[in-house]
């Protein structure tokens, strides 16, 4: 069986693989919620990209997060391609999440009809509130 290297050397993985930077994360989230533009400056490989990805993936960020690395772009066409791919990728993952929430909802639906004593049929109010909760969570 192939073993996996536990030492991550590239890119941001998840909060469990990200150390410290708690003050900086708070500061970035504060800037975000106050609509401030931020420029992060540090020597190479200090963790600028990791910090941005970490902060913007926390639930507090509550935003659609588009990450585009423009370092390798050399002209306007490159910039547009990289930026457009990043936007589409971010929206895709949002749509995928919505689709899987809907799929889970419809899988969990068990149609049930019940006649009332006056001959009417139950109005499915519970299903509606479940669907509303589902939509709110996307
Ligand atoms: N807080 C951290 N905890 C764990 N690993 C980190 C942390 N910060 C950075 N790293 C790791 O260090 C490496 C460099 O981080 P990152 O790419 O974020 O740096 P950078 O400042 O954006 O670099 P560059 O100047 O090349 O763009 C990556 O492998 C990243 O996963
Ligand atoms: Mg970087």
Which region, left, alpha or beta, applies to residue 126 given φ > 0 means left and ψ of -120 to 50 means alpha? Answer: alpha
pLDDT of residue 54: 93
* φ, ψ of residue 115 in degrees (nearest 5): -85, 130
Ligand 1 in reach of 110 Cβ (< 6 A):
no
This prediction's pTM:
0.68
Provide the H-helix boundaries in 12-138.
22-33, 48-56, 76-108, 125-136
Ligand 1 in reach of 19 Cβ (< 6 A):
yes
Q: Are 56 and 32 in contact (CB under 8 A)?
A: yes
pLDDT of residue 7: 72
Distance CA 10, CA 7 (A): 9
Minimal-distance CA residue to ligand 1 atom 25: 44
pLDDT of residue 48: 93
Residues with pLDDT less than 50, the chain: none
pLDDT of residue 90: 85
pLDDT of residue 27: 96
């Amino acid at each position: 069986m192939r073993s996996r290297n536990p030492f991550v050397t590239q890119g941001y993985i998840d909060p469990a693989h990200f150390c410290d930077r708690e003050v900086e994360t708070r500061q970035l989230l504060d800037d975000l919620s106050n609509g401030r533009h931020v420029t992060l400056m540090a020597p190479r490989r200090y963790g600028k990209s990791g910090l941005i990805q970490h902060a913007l993936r926390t639930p507090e960020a509550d935003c659609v997060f588009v990450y585009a690395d423009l370092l390798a772009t050399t002209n306007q066409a490159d910039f547009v391609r990289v930026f457009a791919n990043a936007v589409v990728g971010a929206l895709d993952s949002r749509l995928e999440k919505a689709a899987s929430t809907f799929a889970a909802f419809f899988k969990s639906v068990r149609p049930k009809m019940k006649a009332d004593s006056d001959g009417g049929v139950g109005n499915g109010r519970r299903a509606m509130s479940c669907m509303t909760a589902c939509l709110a969570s996307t």
